[in-house]
Amino acid sequence: MAGRVVIAGFGCRATATEASFRDALAAMGVRPDRLAVPEDRAALIAGFAQREGLSVTVIPAAALNGIDTPTRSDLSLIHRGVGSVAEAVALAAAGAGARIIVTRVISADRMATCAMAQGPDQ
């Protein structure tokens, strides 16, 4: 058994910076195997991911539809149709049977959120 993959999912504003991502990820207290982000935010996180030595799974917006998340942001529901973008992309990237292991946290500058999901045994 190869183990369970841990994904750090990110939601963010268009003005998020590497510091936003770094702060949100640091609050997790767990080093992920890879990152996940909605497709329209992939360019924002690319430099951060490279410096962290982590790959990024890009999640199409349509793949977020219907994903049930443990937390709920009214803004996320309005703009993305999902309770938490960070939780939804983490779950989508971790695959069927994944579960949230750390609910979303918000960066100090309030520009990014991060959540962790763990996939089933690989």
Whole-angstrom distance, CA of residue 7 vs CA of residue 78: 25
- Average pLDDT of the chain is 93
At 2, is the pLDDT very low, low, confident or very high (cuts 50, 70, 90)?
low
pLDDT at residue 115 in the model: 98
In order of 24, 38, 75, 83, 110, the CA distances from 79 in angstroms are 21, 13, 6, 10, 16
State yes or no: pLDDT of 121 exceeds 70: no
Q: Is the pLDDT of residue 4 over 90?
A: no
pLDDT tens digits, residue range 21-41?
A: 999 999 999 899 999 999 999
